[in-house]
Structure 1
Amino acid sequence: MISLVTAGKVVWVAFVAGWYLLRRPFDRRARRARLTIDRRKGADTIRLAISATGLGIIPLIYVATGQPRSASYPASPLLFVAGICTAVTALVLFRLTHKALGQMWSVSLQLKQDHKLITTGIYKYLRHPMYTAFWLMALTQALLLPNYVAGLAGVVGFGFLFFSRIGPEEAMMEEAFGEEYHRYRARTWRVLPYLY
């Protein structure tokens, strides 16, 4: 019988693989699109690198080596089950965001030629449900990996990206879509209904 620590690592790897498989076709399509605005270079590249370190590199090192062992704590069945629940929720939300965005999706602060403001599907309620999915991804990591460094690295890494990018992203959208985005912003929540 495998240990709860190993089970958490296996579920985390399966979760990341599922995330990758959901995103891959959209990423391939996005690379071929013509852009009218591309703010990926500079600050956004740094944000993405920090987020990828917290959500990918640090937990992968822990999964592969168990390091840093000094930051580990006993695994909890309750946290493990909660981690599975947040993983499923994150993947479902991740799929819904990609489905709603379609060809308008991009990994960075970019707008495509003939870009349209998406306000249907999950975007009818939240302006940034992709970020909600990533917050759930970071929470899943913290719940499944019983290590203070590896578990919380996603919250720190993605938190940095989120809080440093949300303002510039909304400013870019308002600049591109003007009053349409202003009205959309007035009737939706950023990432959490009724809270934020």
Structure 2
Amino acid sequence: MTPDIAEIIWVVGAVGWYVIRYPHERRSRRTAVSRDRADRVELLLMTISATGLGVVPFVYVLFGFGGVADYGFSPAQGWIGTALFAGSLYLFYRTHRDLGRNWSVTLKVREAHRLITQGVYAYVRHPMYTAFFLWALAQAFLLPNWIAGLSGLAGFGTLYLFRIKREEAMMLETFGDDYRRYSERTKRLVPWIY
């Protein structure tokens, strides 16, 4: 594997992400919202995350950074990045499938929203965040540049850090004791660990 092939894999993964999300995004527009927390903070966090996982690496893939902040690349890291991205896409697909009409890109509760506790949600409360962290790790392995490679971890990490408590508070408001019990038996991101 070469750095050019690793960049192509990153692009294919990003396109795969869009292909998975698009039908759910279209469907979610047609599902009424009962509670919406998409305020300025939420939009800023989404922008930071999209910049780190999309804009910065896409600019790097298209134009490079003139060798600034590049580091050595080995085929092994390319294969690791590929495996991480494949796992990310699979988990991303499963979270959308398990959530169905309950999904939204921002902090929203849909009418007739129900608490999903089966599928991948039986193991972690926020598997979509896990999928994004896997993507960010894959990006660090696939793009041998300290800026482009690590921008996903910085961007999505920022979103996660400032959003997770807001999201869990909204879930507690909506589902009360059911969510509290669900939280007691599951971890946030990694089954049985975190």
Is TM more than 0.5 here?
yes
Match of 2:32 in 1: 34
Between 150-159 and 63-72, the greater mean CA deviation after superposition: 63-72
Match of 2:23 in 1: 25
Of 48, 57, 74, 1:50 maps to 48
Name the CA distance, whole Å, in 1 between partners of 2:135 and 2:66.
21
Deviations 1:45-84 (A, max 9, x none): 0000000000000000100001152111121111101001
Match of 1:100 in 2: 98
Name the CA distance, whole Å, in 1 between partners of 2:55 and 2:30.
27
Name the CA distance, whole Å, in 2 between partners of 1:40 and 1:76.
41
Compute the RMSD of aligned alpha carbons.
0.9
Match of 2:116 in 1: 118
Is 1:143 aligned to 2:132, yes or no? no
Q: Which runs of 5+ in 2 are unaligned?
A: none
Name the CA distance, whole Å, in 2 between partners of 1:6 and 1:66.
11
Between 182-191 and 68-77, the greater mean CA deviation after superposition: 68-77
Identity of aligned residues (%): 46
Deviations 1:91-149 (A, max 9, x none): 11011101100010000100001110001100011100000000000001100000000
Contact 1:47 1:161 in 2 (8 A): yes
- TM-superposed deviation, 1:195: 1.8
- Number of matched pairs: 194
Amino acid at match of 2:150: L
Name the CA distance, whole Å, in 2 between partners of 1:195 and 1:116.
26
Amino acid at match of 2:10: W
TM-score (norm 2): 0.98
Match of 2:184 in 1: 186
Q: Which runs of 5+ in 1 are unaligned?
A: none
